[in-house]
Amino acid sequence: MPLVRYRKVVILGYRSVGKTSLAHQFVEGEFSEGYDPTVENTYSKIVTLGKDEFHLHLVDTAGQDEYSILPYSFIIGVHGYVLVYSVTSLHSFQVIESLYQKLHEGHGKTRVPVVLVGNKADLSPEREVQAVEGKKLAESWGATFMESSARENQLTQGIFTKVIQEIARVENSYGQE
């Protein structure tokens, strides 16, 4: 029987960037237009990658801003993060930088497995953040960057596959030190 590995992943970002929509699309395979500000929600899904199976425990959070204090439960026992901004909101992108700094400090300035996501890429005419800016920011952390739309199932699945791979990549890099 394959070993099922447990992975806890927290989704963080400013409000209304699409955190809940991405989690919902990933778990339920559908998109809904309505906006329902999340308090905090958790989801579980088994993800198969090649021969490996992962029990992914997702925590969808209420939106943060630059003044938010991240609770310990967002740090302790968390394997990786999906940091989401909306490509239609420069402010949501600026908030991400301060969130990352808090995570990095919370993890004792070690490398944190992160996938940075520029969501709402389907709303291109309203774009305030270029893909190259997201890419540059993720590179400065040694993290992965993707643009997405919670309307698109394939793109959304890709985010959560990526974060599992990113966790493995960071774990393996420690093994080699």
The residues of the shown chain that bind ligand GDP, judged by CB under 6 A, are: 15-21, 33, 35-38, 63, 119-120, 122-123, 149-151
CA–CA separation, 150 and 106 (whole Å): 29
Nearest approach, Cβ of residue 2 and ligand GDP (Å):
32
Nearest approach, Cβ of residue 33 and ligand GDP (Å):
5
Nearest approach, Cβ of residue 86 and ligand GDP (Å):
8
Residue number of the CB atom closest to ligand GDP:
18
Residue number with CB closer to ligand GDP (144 or 149)? 149
Strand partners, 20: none
Residue closest to 25 by CA, chosen among 157, 162, 119: 157
Q: Which ranges in the chain belong to alpha helices (H)?
A: 19-28, 90-106, 131-141, 153-175
The CA-atom distances, in angstroms, between 47 and each of 9, 33, 129, 163, 169 are: 13, 26, 31, 11, 17
Residue number with CB closer to ligand GDP (7 or 151)? 151
Nearest approach, Cβ of residue 16 and ligand GDP (Å):
4
